[in-house]
Amino acid sequence: MGRIKPRPPGYVFERKQIKLPPHHLNSLQVILFGLRRRLMDGPIGRFIRHAAERHPYIVGEHGPYCSIHPTAAINNAILNATSGVITVGEHAFFGHGVNLLAGTHDPMKIGFDRQRMIPGSGYDITIERGAWIATNATIIGPCRIGENAVVAAGAVVVADVPPNTLVGGVPARVIKTLDLPHAVDAERPYSISDET
């Protein structure tokens, strides 16, 4: 092998045009493309679109340690229920990138023990009815987010949040108390005026 020679000053790379041969679909590819199109336009496609819209990506268990009410609206979220139970109440909703971390490590351990010693319980997270957890908020257990509370975007919650309050910051603190109407229709949390 020869030595690598440095390029002289002012050298410009030459761009070469590469011509690809024209792509022709064979009959099997045409049949598979048509079949795939018919499936996605039919009932299977409707089911997949419904599943993607109504049941978004959730990382974690949806078993005995994680309870999500059917009326809760969750976008992509991480649910870590290794050290406690996560409960999401009715009509609660999450923004994108929400983290619910009921799992933790023991800071009093060192080395391998710190990495592997995870408490089995005691770090429960409860999101009560109508709570709103905004985008990229992190909830670290044990804590309870009160009814109709709002957690601001990017907040890190490490303590209980009272009902009808807005919290934000790192760590989260009460920003203001929300003056909400007392009577809320459980079947329809919003009202549509009949006036035209």
Q: What is the pLDDT of residues 53-101, one digit of tens each?
A: 445 555 554 567 788 888 888 888 888 887 888 899 999 999 988 999 8
Domain count, the chain: 2
141 falls in which pLDDT band (50, 70, 90)?
confident
Tell me: do 71 and 103 sit in the same domain: yes
Task: Name the catalytic one among 55, 69, 96, 105.
Answer: 105
The lowest-confidence range among 22-36, 44-58, 129-143, 165-179 is 44-58
Tell me: do 87 and 171 sit in the same domain: yes
Tell me: do 73 and 105 sit in the same domain: yes
Tell me: do 79 and 146 sit in the same domain: yes
The lowest-confidence range among 36-45, 83-92, 161-170 is 36-45
Domain range for 131 is: 58-177
Tell me: do 164 and 104 sit in the same domain: yes
Tell me: do 107 and 156 sit in the same domain: yes
Q: Which residue has the higher pLDDT, 195 or 77?
A: 77
In 3D, which of 46, 35, 98, 47 has the Cα closest to residue 68? 98
In CATH, what number is assigned to the domain containing residue 80? 2.160.10.10
The residue assigned the tokens 């923004």 is 95
Q: What is the mean pLDDT of the chain?
A: 77
162 falls in which pLDDT band (50, 70, 90)?
very high
Q: What is the pLDDT of residues 109-125, one digit of tens each?
A: 888 887 777 777 788 99
163-187: buried (b, 16+ CB within 10 Å) or exposed (e) per residue?
bbbbbbeeebeeeeeeeeeeeeeee
Tell me: do 45 and 66 sit in the same domain: no
Tell me: do 138 and 163 sit in the same domain: yes
**Known active-site residue 50:** no
**CA distance linking residue 54 with residue 72, whole number of Å:** 10
